[in-house]
Amino acid sequence: MELTINHQIRFFDPTLTSLEGLLLLELSGKTQGVAVAINNKVIPKKDWTTTRLKPYDQIILITASQGG
């Protein structure tokens, strides 16, 4: 399945259908301080387990970092 993550086209196994599954792959399960938007719509963390991905979705992953 083709997805665009942070403006980069990526290809995944078509069996990957959930946002939660994608985050496990991309972030190794480290989701603290992460925000997600799909097709310009922010997805609340409580909905990550039930959000389904579709081919060609545009996904933005933002991770908080410390610094100054």
Which among 56, 47, 55 is positioned nearest to 23, based on CA atoms? 47
Q: What is the pTM of this model?
A: 0.89
User: What is each CA distance from 32 to 8, 16, 37, 55, 56, in whole angstroms?
Assistant: 23, 22, 15, 26, 26
pLDDT at 1 (0 to 100):
95
**Residue 68 pLDDT:** 58
Write the burial class of residue 22 (CB in 10 Å: 0-12 exposed, 13-18 middle, 19+ buried).
Answer: buried
Q: Which residue intervals of the chain are DSSP H helices?
A: 19-27
Question: Mean pLDDT throughout 8-37?
Answer: 93
Query: Which pLDDT value is given to residue 38?
Result: 98
The arithmetic mean of pLDDT across residues 11-38, rounded, is 93
pLDDT, position 66: 72
Chain segment 32-62, per-residue pLDDT in tens: 999 999 999 999 999 999 999 999 999 999 9
